[in-house]
Amino acid sequence: MNMQTAITMTAAETALVDAYTAAIGDLPGEGAVLPARDALLADLRTQGLPTRRLESWHYTDLRALLRSVPALEPTAFAERVDPLVPGSAVLAVLNGKADAKGLPATVNVRTYAESLIDGVAAADLIARDAEDAIGRINGSLVRDGFEIEVPEGTVLEQPLELQLVQSAGQNHSRFPVTFGASTKATVIERHLSVSDAASLVTVVSDLILDDNADITWIILQQQGASDSHLAQVNFDLGTNAKLRLFVINAGGKLVRQEIHGVTTGEGADFKLRGINLLGGETHTDITFTLGHDVPNTTSTEVIRNVLFDRAKGVFQGQIRVAPDAQKTDAKMACNTLLLSDDADFSAKPELEIFADDVQCGHGATVIDINPTHLYYLRARGIPENKARAMLVNAFVDEIVEELEDEGLIETLETIISVWLEKHA
């Protein structure tokens, strides 16, 4: 068998290569950027999209699941919407193009296209590892996004909203974000679909938190029912830095949200809170890896899943504790409410611990609506379907409540109840 034999490309693989060929003359960046793009595409072309034979893609066979990729639609129209939280500064990416109008003055920001054009971005355009399909697709086709620096000591009183609005075609965006020492901010990464046309959206966000930065990053994914959404957040936490990452998936047909982090400064604390609202035919995967690389760092991960219809969900969570990362404290939980016999959720928690003085644990449960709770609500006059919806809501609301910001909590609660009413 000749290892060099080119694979037979699937429709989606062909479409990605075609998109590259069609766009390359027009994509920003030359110099070192172009060969970096070429190299990523070459890997994609020779290896194809990942299949279940690769460990990190075992539950999400991307090659089989990504049936088609919409062609580029450079003239499709999308416009900004009101921010989720009134008063937020908005950085909009409309159908893959950053809208450079009205950039906030509180942070240093430029479009990622500029970074590609002057070549600074070339250093970003590498795959994390051999299985990094999202890095490859996004890195070869990336057009825009924002490069953001929050200067040391800055406290943002209002959230910063990264608003990605998609109506058709493809969107490949990047957000390298540096939070300087002692900064405090809430960032909302919001993915919206404004048409029924299928889109492919890939996003890579690279977050660096300097010492004592205290950041809440909320990913609200509300793509359309025929969209594919491939996203990756990479983060690096400095000394005493705190990152709270909320992920809410409430849309999309094929969704893979990767989260990869390392704690590189002592006292760093990471919290992941995930809500997967899965209905219809969706396949939604959250894949998480965290390296506790230095002593005295902490993390907790709580994922709550609600599944209807024929939805499939995946959570892979891997926590690694380096040999000298003593006093690591890491706890991971994944709880699933399966509301349909045809729905299915796979949870794969994994601990790789090389230090001896640590506290690590994980648990995965599948539960049903508590019949006694249901009866109690009904005995007070609440009809069964409404009572059920209240209990499902309660299951995920415990996570939303952790946000501590009343306005934001209410907004997210509304989004969640609207979604549940539509699917229950």
Partner 1 sequence: MLEIKNLHARIAEDGTEIIRGLNLTVKAGEVAAIMGPNGSGKSTLSYILSGREDYEVTEGDILYNGESILELDPSERAAKGIFLAFQYPVEIPGVATMQFLKVALNEQRKYRGEDELSTPDFIRRVKEASAKLQINPDMLKRPLNVGFSGGEKKRAEILQMALLEPKLCVLDETDSGLDIDALKIVSDGVNALRSPDRAVIVITHYQRLLEYIVPDSVHVLYKGQIIKSGDKSLALDLEANGYADIIDAAA
Q: Does 375 bind partner 1 (CB under 8 A)?
A: yes
Min CB(378)–partner 1 separation in Å: 4
Min CB(371)–partner 1 separation in Å: 8
- Write out the two tokens for 327: 């006093």
The answer to whether residues 397 and 416 touch, using CB atoms and an 8 Å cutoff, is yes
384-400 and 406-423 helices, crossing angle to 10°: 140
From candidates 303, 387, 412, 416, binder to partner 1 by CB under 8 A: 387
The answer to whether residues 335 and 399 touch, using CB atoms and an 8 Å cutoff, is no
Please provide residue 271's backbone torsions phi and psi, each rounded to the nearest 5 degrees.
-130, 130
Min CB(382)–partner 1 separation in Å: 5
Q: Which of 194, 199, 147, 143 has the alpha carbon at shortest distance from 170?
A: 199
Min CB(286)–partner 1 separation in Å: 21
Q: Does 377 bind partner 1 (CB under 8 A)?
A: yes
From candidates 64, 376, 410, 414, binder to partner 1 by CB under 8 A: 376
Q: Does 111 bind partner 1 (CB under 8 A)?
A: no
For residues 325 and 359, give the distance between their C-alpha atoms in angstroms, rounded to a whole number. Answer: 11
Question: Which segment (17-25, 203-211, 334-342, 370-378) binds partner 1 by CB under 8 A?
Answer: 370-378
Binding mask 327-366 for partner 1 (x = CB under 8 A): ----------------------------------------
Q: Does 373 bind partner 1 (CB under 8 A)?
A: yes
DSSP states along 342-402 = T-EEEEEEEEEE--SS-EEEEEEEEE---HHHHHHHHHTT--HHHHHHHHHHHHHHHHHGG
SS (H, E, C) 282-313: CEEEEEEEEEECCCCCEEEEEEEEEECCCCEE
Q: Does 395 bind partner 1 (CB under 8 A)?
A: yes
From candidates 10, 222, 393, 411, binder to partner 1 by CB under 8 A: 393
Min CB(389)–partner 1 separation in Å: 10
Q: Does 415 bind partner 1 (CB under 8 A)?
A: no
Left, alpha or beta for 234 (phi > 0: left; psi -120 to 50: alpha)? beta
Min CB(395)–partner 1 separation in Å: 6
Q: Does 55 bind partner 1 (CB under 8 A)?
A: no
Question: Which segment (168-176, 263-271, 323-331, 374-382) binds partner 1 by CB under 8 A?
Answer: 374-382
From candidates 383, 414, 418, 421, binder to partner 1 by CB under 8 A: 383
Q: Does 382 bind partner 1 (CB under 8 A)?
A: yes
- Write out the two tokens for 28: 């920003």
**How far, in Å, are 54, 266, 269 from residue 328 at the CA level?**
29, 10, 10
Please identify which residue in the block is written with the tokens 């009809």. Answer: 383
DSSP H helices in 79-132: 112-117
Contact residues toward partner 1 (CB under 8 A) are 372-373, 375-384, 386-387, 390-391, 393-395, 397-398
